[in-house]
Each structure stands twice: as structure tokens, then as C-alpha cells.
Structure 1
């Protein structure tokens, strides 16, 4: 049975997406394209929002089976809400990433999903974590994922710098996603970005015709 997918591989079938998260001076940006695919080459939707808010200042990008990822984020939201009530304080970003990791690991035989988790908390400020298929957890200053990411490793390695300003980071993320969309046939649509800081959360949507272009199509 085919399933909607937003990751590089599900059940051995190549599928498409581009997701990323980047820390900057005072915050973090998490972003993605908006396509979902079936069977690796058929674009089933151009308007999927892969950025899921799991708590006030914590978001994750979904990858893998869309249905599996949605089930895991629903469970994570419940656990984080309960945790916040019990502790009488907002959950840490690492706690959210750890919950996603445990859910992925404990269900790795049944569910195909991975995540980029990013957010801000009062203990460590802005943070980025990768939760891979199967449940491995890594903390990184920036990370990219999905089939479109294979086209932009050189760009992000060359252009990333620590302590970027908000504006520099927004341009970095937009350029990276635009480059991936230009090369990966199942990444595309609009670019969704969320800027997370101590002051709150800002959603940014860049339409496809407003993305920067680096080559003739």
C-alpha cells in the first residue's frame, strides 16, 4: 500500500522533501518546502506544512511517512503538555527531542518517521536536534534533511557561520531551500519558515515565485 511520504526513503522507495533548522544569534529558524510525494516521483500535494508546533517555542520538521510522523507528533504534544503541567514550567527543547527519539526508537519496526526539532528555552537558549529514522538523537548548530538536502550540502557547509543575525539566517535558510527546490524534482511549492526566539514565534511563508533563483530553469 502506498503512503504519503515526505522523506528520503520509505520502505525502500525514494521520496522527496527538504527540511532544515539553523541557529542564529538569539534564536533558531526551522523550515521546509511544501510538497509530499507517493512512490518517489508522483507529487501528491503541493501545500503540506511539515512544520509542527509541539509546544509554545518548540517546533519539529517531519520526515518519512506523513501518517506515521503525524501520529508521533500527536503523542509528543500530549506528553510535553503533561510534562509542562507537572513541572509547572515550559519543557526544554532537549526534552521534546528526547520524547520524539524514544517514540521513534520504540516503534522503529512499525513506524517510519524522523524529525528535526528546534526551539528556544531559558536554560540553553536556541537549540537544534536531529532525530533520525530509528531514533538516533544529535545536537547540531544546523542540520538539513530529505532528498533535496543531497543537492545543498556544499552550499550550507560553505555559507553557514555561527552567530548569524536574524536577517542573515533567514536569507541562508531561504537560499538553501530554494537551491534544493531547483534541483530536486519532488521538493517544491512554497517555503515555510518559523523564527523562534525568547520574544516568541514568527511564521514566514515565501511563495515559489518569490524565491531567489540561481540558475535558468
Structure 2
């Protein structure tokens, strides 16, 4: 799973392995990797606490608040949980944000992050290809190309890319199928 930030956040998950989970509101999402049972439990609790927070404050929680809920759950249960999460979204206070919460419960805000079994194959590619102030289409193509490269090397990284682009206007979803995935690698690398 790979995330990029800016005024928007491009999000994806392969068909197998990683799962996208919407958290209460259409502008904050969790991506999960590792133990499906552990990460689903954490995301269910986070959704519950985020809803309680929204009722108490009469407004949606910030992306950072939801990220801190994930961190707190993972850190307090680090001896029992085997899952990593990426928290990404958009809010009025800070715009687009991406947080990584690897196994153990550390929380890091980054311009982009990746996790899951295919991530080891694409760290160097993303370090090289990511640049600040990318356009929305450039960032979406980078996400698709990076996931495509991960899928080419990792059998657990699925066969499609589910891309979600989050902005102040909400979340837009796009499905990139197998033949388009291979084409994306070629087009990105020759551009």
C-alpha cells in the first residue's frame, strides 16, 4: 500500500492482501496490512471512537486525531497485534495528510509512505520518483506505477489497483485492471 500527500491523497490497495477501510467520514481512510483480524479490530474501534469524538465536538475528527487513535490502539497492544496501517485523508485544518503506523505503534507523518509485503520492492523507486508539488495526475500515475511494480515481484500484492483520491471535495474512486496496470509501468518509466 502506498500513499502520497498534498492537497489530495492518492490511495490504493491491491485486490488481495491490503484492504481499504473508510473511517466514519468520506475524507479519512485506513489501509491495512498484516493480520486481517488484528487490523480489522483496530479499524472497528477507531471508527467507533471517531464517531464518539464527532458527536462530542459536533464536527468530524481531524485526520491527525484518527491517526492518533490508530497509534494509541497499536502501541498499547503492540505485544499482541501484528498489523501496520496507513492513515490518510483531508481536513480543513491541515489539508491532505499521510501517516504511517507500522507494527509496534509508532506514528509518522510523511509526504508518502508504503507498507505491506510488496512495499520492500518499491521503497527505492518511490524515493527516486516522488517529488514535492506533483500534480494530481502525476501523483496518481506514480501510485499506480509503484503498485504495479510491487505486484510484478510480490505474489500477495493482487492483480488490480483500487485508487482513491481524496480532496476537499471528497473521495473519488478508480479501479485500474490488470492490462492497464502493466501499461502503467511502461508509460511511467518511459515518460
Q: TM-score, normalised by structure 2?
A: 0.92
Partner residue in 2 for 1:8: none
Deviations 1:130-165 (A, max 9, x none): 111111000000001112111112211111011111
After superposition, residues 125-136 of structure 1 pair within 5 angstroms as 125-136=95-106
C-alpha displacement of 1:212? 2.9
Aligned partners of 2:130, 2:182: CA distance in 1, in Å?
Answer: 18
Aligned residues: 184
CA contact (8 A) 1:83 1:91 kept: yes
State the shift of 1:52 in Å: 0.6
Query: Runs of 5+ in structure 2 lacking a partner?
Result: 187-191
Cα separation, 2, equivalents of 1:173 and 1:71: 27
Counterparts of 2:169 and 2:37, CA distance in 1? 32
Q: Distance in 2 between matches of 1:160 and 1:141?
A: 9
The corresponding residue for 2:12 is: 31
Moved segments of 4+, more than 4 Å: none
**Native 8 Å contact 2:118 2:154 kept in 1:** yes
Partner of residue 186, structure 1: 156
> Could you say which structure has the higher helix fraction?
2
TM-score (norm. length: structure 1): 0.81
Match of 1:82 among 16, 39, 52: 52
Query: Relative to total residues, which structure has the larger strand share, 1 or 2?
Result: 1
1:151-190 matches, within 5 Å, as 151-190=121-160
List alignment gaps of at least 5 residues for structure 1. Answer: 1-18, 37-48
Q: Which residue of structure 1 lines up, in the alignment, with residue 189 of structure 2?
A: none
Match of 1:200 among 167, 170, 176: 170
Q: How far off its partner does 1:186 sit?
A: 2.0
What is the CA–CA distance in structure 2 between the aligned matches of 1:109 and 1:152, rounded to whole Å?
A: 28
1:21 corresponds in structure 2 to 3
